């Protein structure tokens, strides 16, 4: 089996690559070739023993997608995107990467199958940002997609394209609306939601973090470990069970900032909590406040997707996976 990961140098892409290298298979099918693509050259984990290709290329370049699709990967993970805050700040860049790049990829798959049958499984990472206020207490599977940001709009268009290209038999696609991934390892990025990770990640290693929103802000989260699990499950799911509705809101954990902080206190104590500095940012408060806070993902749960059970668990996953199993 040939697996292609687009966006392989990002946090989720790296973790997915490491998991695939460790397992050596997707489901019961061995991986014989692994192709990694990003705007900076990704790294192939030493644990992977099959054929591998890692290259730097921009999916928004019209020549990129046809070249990589010509190698006919069996599974394509499309993770590449400009994050929410950056997509809002740079209108042209957001649409070029998040929309044009996605369309180029889907169209390359269609063209590849014109002369000889080709039907890859394509897993597209969408976002809960496809939904917009006003919200009820929870968002069900029938809630209207009406995004309030450029990023959400770009992801919503991607979902519609995925559904249509799959309906026409050009690919076997599934779109998964990821919760905000928390705790993200590494350094802060330009995502408007980045502070959800920052206020936990930095205090856990004795560093100050800025909290730009009210403690009452509620949001929908999943750990990086759960995210990788979502991707692998989507890659092996019998898509006939989707009944033509190819995009899913995934399970997660709804929590307020205050609940996050109390979980941090239970795990790391008052000293860690004291490192959170409140510095209100009205723009971030408004943007994140326009996102969905809680979900009832009935379809995804019935299809076997699973997420974290508590914020204590999310913090412990971060300590295990990123800090060697213990606090500094």
pLDDT of residue 124: 98
Which residue in the list 95, 118, 151, 165 is annotated as catalytic? 151
Q: Which of 48-62, 68-82, 126-140 has the lowest mean pLDDT?
A: 126-140
- What does the H/E/C string look like for 28-49? CEECCEEEEEECCCCCCCCCCC
The tokens describing 68, both together, are 């990589």
Q: Name the CATH code of domain 2-179+222-249 (choices 3.30.750.24, 3.20.20.70, 3.40.50.300, 3.40.50.720).
A: 3.40.50.720
Q: What is the pLDDT of residues 276-307, one digit of tens each?
A: 999 999 989 988 887 888 999 999 999 999 99
- In angstroms, the CA 22 to CA 46 distance is 9
Length of the chain: 328
- What is the sign of the dihedral through the CA atoms of 4, 10, 12 and 14? positive
Examine the pLDDT at 133 and tell me if it is beyond 90. no
pLDDT of residue 84: 82
Give me the mean pLDDT over the 171-188 stretch.
93
Give me the mean pLDDT over the 135-158 stretch.
92
Q: What is the pLDDT of residues 218-262, one digit of tens each?
A: 999 999 999 999 999 999 999 999 999 999 999 999 999 999 999
- Say what the pTM is: 0.94
Catalytic annotation on 95? no
Q: What is the CA radius of gyration of the chain?
A: 19
Q: Which of 10-24, 131-145, 293-307 has the lowest mean pLDDT?
A: 131-145
């Amino acid at each position: 089996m040939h697996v292609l990961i687009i966006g392989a140098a990002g946090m989720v892409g790296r973790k997915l690559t490491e998991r695939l290298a460790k397992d050596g298979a997707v489901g019961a099918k061995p991986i014989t070739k692994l192709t990694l693509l990003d705007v900076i050259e990704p790294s192939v984990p030493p644990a992977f023993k099959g054929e591998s290709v890692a290259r730097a290329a921009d999916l928004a370049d019209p020549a990129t997608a046809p070249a990589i699709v010509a190698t006919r990967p069996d599974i394509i993970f499309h993770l590449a995107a400009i994050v929410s805050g950056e997509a809002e700040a740079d209108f042209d860049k957001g649409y070029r990467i998040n929309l044009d790049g996605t369309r180029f990829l889907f169209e390359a798959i269609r063209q590849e199958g014109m002369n000889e049958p080709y039907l890859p499984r394509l897993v597209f990472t969408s976002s809960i940002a496809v939904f917009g206020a006003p919200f009820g207490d929870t968002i069900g599977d029938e809630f209207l997609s009406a995004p309030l940001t450029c990023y959400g709009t770009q992801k919503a268009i991607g979902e519609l394209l995925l559904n249509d290209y799959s309906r026409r038999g050009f690919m076997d696609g599934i779109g998964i609306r990821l919760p905000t991934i928390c705790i993200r390892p590494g350094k802060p990025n330009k995502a408007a939601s980045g502070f959800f990770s920052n206020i936990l990640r930095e205090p856990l290693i004795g560093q100050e973090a800025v909290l730009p929103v009210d403690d009452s802000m509620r949001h929908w989260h999943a750990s990086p470990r759960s995210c990788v699990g979502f991707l692998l499950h989507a890659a092996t799911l019998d898509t006939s069970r989707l009944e033509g509705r190819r995009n899913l809101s995934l399970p997660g954990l709804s929590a307020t900032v205050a609940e996050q902080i109390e979980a941090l206190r239970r795990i790391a104590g008052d000293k860690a909590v004291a490192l959170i500095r409140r510095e209100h940012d009205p723009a971030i408060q408004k943007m994140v406040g326009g996102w969905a806070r809680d979900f009832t993902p009935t379809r995804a749960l019935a299809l076997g997707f699973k997420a974290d059970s508590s914020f204590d668990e999310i913090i412990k996953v971060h300590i295990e996976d990123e800090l060697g199993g213990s606090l500094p």
